[in-house]
Amino acid sequence: MPSSSRPSERFWSSYKYWLPPAVISLLLTIIYLNPFIGDWDGLDYTIFSLHGRPSSMALGRSLFTLFNFGLFKFAHALFGVRPDQAYLLFKFAVVVQTPLAVIACWLLARDLSGSRRAATIAALLIATSPMLVIYGGQVMTDVPSILLTALALTVHLR
């Protein structure tokens, strides 16, 4: 791979490496999708998100609830999503973020190791992680936190 190629070009040409773990994570998340609200945190996050208030819980949870607030306002204005449907909106936003988190982890592992194969193994380990699979189908902060952390570390590394 020539060193003059841009990272975005190298990323898209490496789809054979990062796409399978991303698809596996999405399929596992859908298969094990929790049909209920899940942990009490999900209800807490939904209520805080609807009111546009930061969560009282620590770390990135305030960012999570404020992102969901913006997402709800957008979906409400554009599609008429009601407050009683907000939980499903937030839940499926996390489902969509699950393969994105795996791809972000693949990028980070590739940049750290310099190997697409090693990055793929790392992404497969993350994609099949019980934590990612279980929390990928709930309104929880774990998946968005992995996504944000992997992207931030990748940017910082570069």
Q: How far apart are CA 56 and CA 62, in angstroms?
A: 8
User: Is 10 domain-assigned?
Assistant: no
Written as six digits, the tokens of 54 are: 């930061």
pLDDT band at 8 (very low <50, low <70, confident <90, very high): low
Q: What is the pLDDT of residue 45?
A: 82
User: Is 65 domain-assigned?
Assistant: yes
Q: What is the pLDDT of residue 2?
A: 46
User: Is 12 domain-assigned?
Assistant: no
User: Is 9 domain-assigned?
Assistant: no
> Would the pTM of this model clear 0.85, i.e. be above it?
yes
- Helices then strands (H, E): number in the chain? 8, 0
Domain ranges, residue 57 = 19-157
User: Is 2 domain-assigned?
Assistant: no
Rounded to 5 degrees, φ, ψ at 86 are -60, -40
**Can you tell me the mean pLDDT for 58-86?**
87
User: How many structural domains compose the chain?
Assistant: 1
Q: How far apart are CA 79 and CA 81, in angstroms?
A: 6
User: Is 4 domain-assigned?
Assistant: no
Q: Is the dihedral of CA 87, 91, 97, 101 positive or negative?
A: positive
**Can you tell me the mean pLDDT for 14-34?**
93
pLDDT band at 4 (very low <50, low <70, confident <90, very high): very low
Q: How far apart are CA 88 and CA 105, in angstroms?
A: 26
User: Is 14 domain-assigned?
Assistant: no
User: Is 125 domain-assigned?
Assistant: yes
pLDDT tens-digit series, residues 97-153:
999 999 999 999 999 999 999 999 999 999 999 999 998 988 888 898 899 999 999
